[in-house]
Chains A and B, each alone.
Chain A
Amino acid sequence: MATTELPLPALPEAHHEEPSGGIVDYLTTVDHKKIGLLYIFTAFAVFLAGGLLALLVRWELATPGLQVMGENTYNQVFTMHGTLMIFLFAAQVTTGLGNYLVPLQIGAADVAFPRANAMSYWLYLFGVLIVVSSFFVAGGPAAVAWTAYAPLSTSEFFQGTGMDLWIIGLAVVGVAGILGAVNLVTTIFRMRMPGMTMFRMPLFTWGVLVNQLLILFAFPPLTVVFALLFLERNFGAEFFDPTAGGSPLLYQHIFWFFGHPEVYIIILPIFGIISEVIPVFSRKPLFGYRAMVFAFFGIAALSFGVWAHHMFATGLVYLPYFSIMSLLIGVPTGIKVFNWIGTMWRGSITLSTAMLMALGFIVVFLIGGITGIFLASPPIDFAVNDTYYVVAHFHYIMVGGLLYGMFAGFYFWFPKFTGRRLSERLGRWHFFTFFIGFNMTFFFQFLVGLDGMPRRIADYDIERWTTANVLSTIGAFLTAVSVLIFLWNFFVSIRRGQPAGDDPWEGNSLEWVTSSPPPSHNFHHLPEVHSERPAFDHRHRDNPAFAAAHTDPERNQDRG
């Protein structure tokens, strides 16, 4: 395979590396890699804060009686836990990874609009600060649950600046998300290097593309509903007031039209990460590349058709439509799981930490996804919605799915970002502690939810629920320990980690062709792209027989 010298832009600054590390450097950067790291670090800090709030919740709930805090504080704690995690961490950590990796994976020098990219990050940071500032105003932060249903969140029932800061901060983050989505979608559509057709892009880039398209179409309704709520609270609007002709149900419809795609926004890039990690550590290409891409779109499309399954208990939505759509969304998701297994099958598997995390992901995501199928059935939903069954379900997806996938991505790409490897020994400790702690935290919540324990309660007085809650709390603290192990691994490896080189894992996509970390304009040289595994092809370029077998369309029907 030949190496093509591409006409990279002739800027005088292209000679030398950007000076890195200083505060001014980061404040003024327009480099997608630095911006990606800013996103990841900020999101992780939010994650740690949200995790602390979770520990407070578990501490309080371990036994009956209000031991640790009063009811109002508890309501604030769980509201902000959900808010920080869902609105301010989950989507942004994957956006950060996407920001760093997508231009590399498609052979571009940066994103389409680098300055606007920086602005997206700063808007996100300011949004976080605004939301967090609600802790410091009179009355404290919002205490209406992350879903903030009207009329509870309206000025009639919930006063205080904390709630308004919550709305404003999240609106700013919403703008950041939309701006970022325009950027990344344009980048993926327009800035692929020659030879990089859409159907040769890595699955992680596809995951980011679909995720950003979802953001583009789902965030505006959220901004709308927040605007309505803000107007209601501060300017006398009556959208949600039934006595004035408004409807509380309106809030739920608009909120969940955003809310359901939001959870797919969170998880789709994770599917992309898993689809990168498993082929590399199985030494085989991803099984069913095209099917995986279509599955992404199937999931994305269906995700817009299921929103009212969060509203089955209202008795006011058309049940069959939402039930069948919610059941069907399990099919493309299942296709993905089968294809991952197909990738591993007859492969040559290495159990690196990244691979362990990916495997752990499959197992726990299976539980989360299957329990989602239960919830898609209205009669079952009537029984278990708004109980700890649902809490366990979405934590299996959000903590099990999101975190395992995120850690898989971290262990996989840390060498690329830093030039050093994370310790595999510490990584194993991290994985096993996390696996045990996580399952202990959330598995028993299924049981206690089936027994009727509602969610969002500061206290309970049914004695037999205590055992499950104590076990869950112990599990939560164990999970916290696992995060500490990861942090330790991170800080040790940053300084003394084994040097990684360009391609420590024998990766498939273009980022593994450049240095670790990449130069400021990403690539000095780019190989030609003729398949969805350009780095792999590049490694085997001196073996023409192998190359021929590899590119033979008869044997490789999924080649783009």
Chain B
Amino acid sequence: MQPRRRAPAARWFALAALVLIAAGCTPQSVTEQGRAAYSLYNLFMYIAAVVFVVVSGLVVWSVIRYRRRDDELPTQTHGNNRLELTWTLIPTVIVLVLFVFTMQAQNKELDQSGKADVNITVTAFQWSWRFTYEGTGAEVLGSPGQVPEMVVPVGQTIRIKLISADVVHSFYVPQTLFKRQAIPGTDNFFDLTFEKTGLFHGQCTQFCGLQHADMVYRVRVVTQGEYQSWLAAATRRGAAGQPGT
């Protein structure tokens, strides 16, 4: 009987270890706004890992320690009010603390009080995206076969106005740790301030029909100089009636 008693324990501790390893697998945010989400996730993760290891440890321990050895009935305890109160109050406190940190991170992430340096209207449609740079003539239009690229400058506040031309879509760039739904009839606003240059994958993440899986786009974050030259070229293209990608 011995091996079987140990095997479940080993399995569970391995699972606990994997869970902890997974904590390192959150992507770092590439935006200023996403940093708050990243720190919050780590806080939750540490608490969650502790809770999981402790509780499943108690389960495993009680199975090992209190395995039936004879026919005698154990003491028929019905409960303990003090214990009930303790394990009601402590989780409530933990949860309230998590709520406070959540609100702080949320307010930081959704803060739109600053000035916007670039205004882009993102139109989601079945099944690609249009990026319209307000105040210029620049526009990028994608299609299911052609992946559109949204070019933006690093370090500046991009204000996105997200609209939908048909059904509900969702704007999601995984490395920003952020997403927002595009709902027909509603204008949704949010800010992104990229902190490093690079090419970031984006995808629609609200099921929107046949080619939902193809509704991919990219965000190319470049230096301010590169952005200005791109913008100039794109404006010229726009003026000539050719929305490029």
- Are these two chains actual partners, yes or no? yes
CB distance from B103 to the nearest CB of A (A): 6
B95 located at the interface, meaning its Cβ lies under 8 Å from any Cβ of chain A in the complex: yes
CB <8 Å contact, B102 and A377: yes
Contact with A along B168-207 (1 / 0, CB 8 A): 1010101101111101111010100000000001011111
Q: How many A-B contacts are there with CB distance less than 8 Å? A: 268
The minimal Cβ–Cβ distance linking A375 to chain B, given in whole angstroms, is 10
B-binding segment of A20-28, A264-272, A280-288: A280-288
Contacts A288-B79, A288-B84, A454-B172 given; does A383 touch B179 at CB 8 Å: yes
- Checking B15, B99, B188, B209 against A157 with a beta-carbon cut-off of 8 angstroms, the contacting residue is B209
Decide if the interface of chain A is mainly helix, strand, loop or mixed: helix
Contact A316 B55 (CB under 8 A): no
B167 at the interface (CB under 8 A from A): yes
Q: Which of B22, B98, B106 has a CB less than 8 Å from the CB of A373?
A: B98
Contact call A447/B25, Cβ cutoff below 8 A: yes
- A285 and B78 within 8 A (CB): yes
Contact A347 B74 (CB under 8 A): yes
Minimum CB–CB distance for B196 against chain A, Å: 17
Return chain B residues, CB-CB under 8 Å to A559: 78
Smallest CB separation, B109 vs chain A (Å): 5
Binding stretch for chain B, among A111-119, A145-153, A487-495: A145-153
Q: How far is the CB of B17 from chain A (nearest CB, A)?
A: 12
Q: In the complex, what distance in Å separates the CA atom of A143 from the CA atom of B209? A: 8
Q: Tell me how far the C-beta of A78 lies from the nearest C-beta in chain B, rounded to whole angstroms.
A: 9
- In whole angstroms, what is the CA distance A285 to B99 when docked? 35
Closest-by-CB residue of A relative to B203 is A454
Contact check, A344 vs B180: say whether CB atoms are below 8 A apart: no
B66 with A344: CB separation less than 8 A: yes
Interface-facing stretch out of A45-53, A397-405, A414-422, A455-463 = A455-463
Residue numbers in A under 8 Å from B80 (CB-CB): 287-288, 342
Q: A315-B188, A351-B63, A366-B52 are in contact. Are A249 and B203 (CB under 8 A)?
A: no
Asked whether B181 lies within 8 Å of A314 as measured between CB atoms, the reply is: yes
Cα of A456 to Cα of B52 in the assembled complex, Å: 29
Near A by CB (< 8 A), chain B positions 3-18 give 8, 11-12, 15, 18
- Docked Cα-Cα span, A450 to B69, in Å, equals 45
Assess whether B174 is in contact with A451, with CB atoms less than 8 Å apart. yes
Residue B224 lies at the interface, judged by CB distance under 8 Å to chain A: no
Q: In the assembly, what is the distance between CA of A346 and CA of B68, in Å?
A: 10
Docked complex: A303-344 residues within 8 A CB-CB of B: 313-316, 319-320, 323-324, 327-328, 330-331, 334-335, 337-339, 341-342, 344
Report how many residues on chain B are interfacial, defined by Cβ distance under 8 Å.
Answer: 86
Q: In the complex, A550 Cα to B78 Cα: how many Å?
A: 9
Residues of chain B contacted by A288 (CB below 8 angstroms): 78-80, 83-84
- Report the bound CA distance from A319 to B99 in whole Å: 11
C-alpha spacing A557/B83, complex, angstroms: 13
Given contacts A378-B106, A452-B174, contact A157 B205 (CB under 8 A): no
A315 in complex: contacting residue of B27, B73, B87, B180, CB < 8 Å? B180
Q: Tell whether B208 is near chain A: CB-to-CB under 8 Å.
A: yes
Q: A328-B95, A341-B62 are in contact. Are A380 and B40 (CB under 8 A)?
A: yes
In the bound complex, do residue B68 and residue A283 qualify as a contact, i.e. CB atoms below 8 Å apart?
Answer: yes
Contact present for B15 and A556 (CB under 8 Å): no
- Stretch in B113-121, B149-157, B210-218, B227-235 with 4+ CB within 8 Å of A: B210-218
Q: How far is the CA of A290 from the CA of B8 in the complex (A)?
A: 31
Contacts of B79 in A (CB 8 A): 287-291, 339, 342, 557-558
Q: Nearest chain B CB to A491's CB is how many angstroms away?
A: 26
What residues on B are CB-neighbors of A350 within 8 Å? Answer: 68
Quick check: A349 and B205 within 8 Å, CB to CB?
Answer: no
> Is B135 positioned at the interface, with any CB of A under 8 Å from its CB?
no
Q: With a CB–CB cut-off of 8 A, which chain B residues contact A152?
A: 167-168, 207-209
Note all chain A residues with C-beta closer than 8 A to B209.
Answer: 75, 152, 157-158
Residues of chain A in range 228-256 having any CB-CB distance to chain B below 8 Å: 242-243, 247-249
Inside 8 A of A379's CB, which chain B residues have their CB?
36-37, 40-41, 102, 105-106, 109, 177
Q: Is A275 an interface residue (CB 8 A)?
A: no
The answer on a CB contact under 8 Å between A328 and B63 is no
A550 to chain B: closest CB distance in Å?
6
Q: Which of B78, B88, B174 has the most CB of A within 10 A?
A: B78
For chain A, the count of residues having a C-beta within 8 Å of the partner chain is 93
A374 at the interface (CB under 8 A from B): yes
A380 touches B172 (CB 8 A): no
Q: Give the interface centre of A145, A377, A435 by most chain B CB atoms within 10 Å.
A: A377
Is A185 located at the chain interface by the 8 A CB criterion? no
Give which listed residue, A144, A247, A363, A435, contacts B56 with CB less than 8 A: A363
Complex Cα distance A446/B22, Å? Answer: 8
Given contacts A316-B186, A350-B68, A454-B204, contact A439 B55 (CB under 8 A): no
Q: Please tell me if the beta carbons of A314 and B62 are within 8 angstroms of each other in the complex.
A: no
- Smallest CB separation, A123 vs chain B (Å): 29
Q: Is residue B219 within 8 Å, beta carbon to beta carbon, of the partner chain?
A: no
Given A149-B168, A379-B36, A380-B37, 13 more contacts at CB 8 Å? A75-B207, A248-B184, A282-B66, A287-B80, A291-B84, A327-B98, A348-B66, A349-B67, A383-B178, A383-B179, A387-B174, A446-B22, A457-B212
The 7 closest A-B pairs by CB, nearest first: A242-B185, A452-B174, A457-B213, A383-B177, A454-B205, A379-B37, A288-B79
Residues of chain B whose beta carbon lies under 8 Å from any beta carbon of chain A: 8, 11-12, 15, 18-19, 22, 25-27, 34, 36-37, 40-41, 44, 48, 51-52, 55-56, 58-59, 62-63, 66-70, 72-81, 83-84, 87-88, 91-92, 95-96, 98-99, 102-103, 105-106, 109, 126, 166-168, 170, 172, 174-175, 177-181, 183-186, 188, 190, 201, 203-213
* A contacts, CB < 8 Å to B: 71-72, 75, 143-145, 149, 151-152, 157-158, 242-243, 247-249, 282-285, 287-291, 313-316, 319-320, 323-324, 327-328, 330-331, 334-335, 337-339, 341-342, 344-351, 359, 362-363, 366-367, 370-371, 373-374, 377-380, 382-383, 385-387, 435, 439, 443, 446-447, 450-452, 454-460, 462, 549-550, 555-559
